[in-house]
Structure 1
Amino acid sequence: MEKRYVLEWLDRAINEFNPTQTQSANFEDHRFKSFLKEVMDETARQIAYLKKLAFQYPKKRKFQEVLDLYFSALNNLIDNARLNLKLIASESVISKKALELVLASLADIHTFLLNRYTVSINPDEPLRKYNLAVPVIDFAQPTDNILLSNHPALASLIEDEFDAVFSTGNLANITPRQAKHWKDLNDQICTPEQQNPGDEYFCSLELLLIERNFNSTKFVKYLTNRFTSHMEEYASGNSIEKLAYIQKLFNQIPVIKGLAYDLQHDDLSLTINNWFICEIEFRSRSNTGKGREAPSTATKSNGCIKKTADKVLCKLTVDQLALFFKAADQSKIIAAKSLSAIFQAVAPYLSTPYKEDISHGSLRSKSYSVEGRDEEQLLSFLTKLTRQIEEL
């Protein structure tokens, strides 16, 4: 394995043409031919090194570390070479030609590196780290696009978000993930197939953003404000049921797996579902408070009387609870004579923001058919739980 600085020769060659340190004008014509061969040999050596790099470091983490260091060093050399090229006096023709050779060599190495290890480029590192240009995206405008013109408020939100990301002051921070997300989103917005009216609740533009996990804080606020405004049209007794129905519609929207706009925030699905849970819980408590003057009633289940106040509130749906206990039973984390026995034991002691009383029969029936969205949501909660355990 390489133990020394593998780009040392190129580094020395670039410094040789730094007018502030050396007399680059003294680079003579007869030396140019031999220098040309040296540059070609060094380029071949670097590419040979890169070809075997993945085999030298079979462990992915170490390989990524070495690759990132190489990228960083290479890009610094490219910047230095470009700077020195500007500083060399115009009359130093041979020196300029020699440094241009070095710069062309660096460009060839850079191109090879990108082509060979594209999948190893961190999509959340700035493009400038890899010496990549920020793509020019001619984003669709409401005046020219039916989809955007039909939804002016949402179009304005998208435009503001795009301008913030691609503003002059933020260009150095744009990542490959952001650039690709905006390019793909723009392509979808301009696709004729997207010009449909949407479903019974969400418009086509909202559906597009939800399926692409556009987890911008502005879009989250837009959705929750819309849901809240919609609830004001309903009497308090119907609001919880309506919220649960909207949540069901939201969770039925297919989402592109592995896609995310901003990794600094939770997935849009998780954030919105957490909002639904908190909102339904708040409205449930408000309704309970209004009815406290009425005679209290107790829930009877299998001969046991359990009050809601005695139960554990679990911020999962009945479907997700059924899936959780089924997985715990099959993995032997929880032991009982049967899965039904587990449901009978836990049902009287659990409640959700949606149901104060859970029957073991409903848990059992839900365990037979699992929806993909419930599985994804439960995995998200478990991932969050794992992180919390690691911090203890």
Structure 2
Amino acid sequence: MQDRYPLEYIDLLASMTLNPSNENLSRLTKEEMDTINYHLEKETYRIQSTIKNHVFTVNKKKEVELLVRQYYSSTINLIDLLFDNREKLPKGNSGLKKIYDSMINILNDLLMFIESRFAKFLSLEEKVANTYLLMTKQRLRQKLQELQKYLELPNLKSRAPLNLLLSRLNRFADRAGSDFEVTFRTLFYKKELIKALEELQFEKAELTNESVFDAVDRVLIYLNYNSKTYIDELTLRIFKSINLFKTSFQKLDKLRYHRKEFKQLHRKPGYILNPNYHDLDIIVEKWFDEEIGYWEKLVQSTVQVESHIKANMVNEKVNKILCNLTTDQIALILRGADDARIFIAKSMNEVFKTIVPHLSTPHKVDLSYDAMRSKSYVAEERDKEKAIEALEKIIRKIRSY
């Protein structure tokens, strides 16, 4: 059997016992107010425990969802009532105002508890009540003031994204609730964002992080902060980082490294700043594709130009001598000269590598020294005879001098 209505005690206080329209309110003694405060101190744990018991005794998901939403909406309605009553309390009665503040804090803690434990059962597109929105914004402003001090760190790498983010959050917190509707999705996202920033140890993170993605970037990528302004700032920063390198090869290599880093960063499923726009991942990945494609074409073009220049330089520098023998016959003569120690080199390979590039035959201009060296081991009898004839012709010429 379920316990009684969890908010019953606070509900009775707000609607009856401490209602400003209650004629007996002025007769409330200090002892009675102390007793109320004593009971309120235990309410946070009792209410949260009761709600957990209620939720876990229900088996069907639809029933759990209905139950959680009822508790959530009841809590918000009760906060509205407390704020309304608080404004109507007799002036100068600090004891009553303290009780009301305690009840509001208990209910706010309850909302945070439901949001953290049962967020998936809440209707994210539902409009936030103005009173609760104002109260939440007030708390957000306090947290933002604490985060503002990190902008004063002298060596802050995260200055650009942090300044952008805090400006946006301050604008949201300062905007009047009646100007525009705020859904629970928007409010939950802002609260999750600030919570993540609060957990950052900026001084430590800034000293150890050598990546182009700083501490704040990691939070924003984790929570899919798909703001156009932020994405433009991030991609421009990556572009500037690769432009520190001189060659296209180095720039392409660094760009690929940044992309690998980006893919390895953590993401929180189901979170997005603007559900009506593309995911941050999709936009940044497309940017990487375009940039890498551009630099790959540039590198390819550079390689082709350099190869052409190199080939021309080789052709200009190497003067070929036409040899009226075949490659097989030349190979035999060079091998014989090496074996006879007429050519003194580190190896036979060195002999071929040094001499062959300067030779050509009637049938081939550019000879491969490696292929010619290989052929010297598998000589045919006809090639041997032709090579010997050539050498004997040389001998006869020398004798005639």
TM-score between the two structures when normalised by the length of structure 1: 0.48
Greater radius of gyration (CA): 2
Using the size of structure 2 for normalisation, the TM-score is 0.47
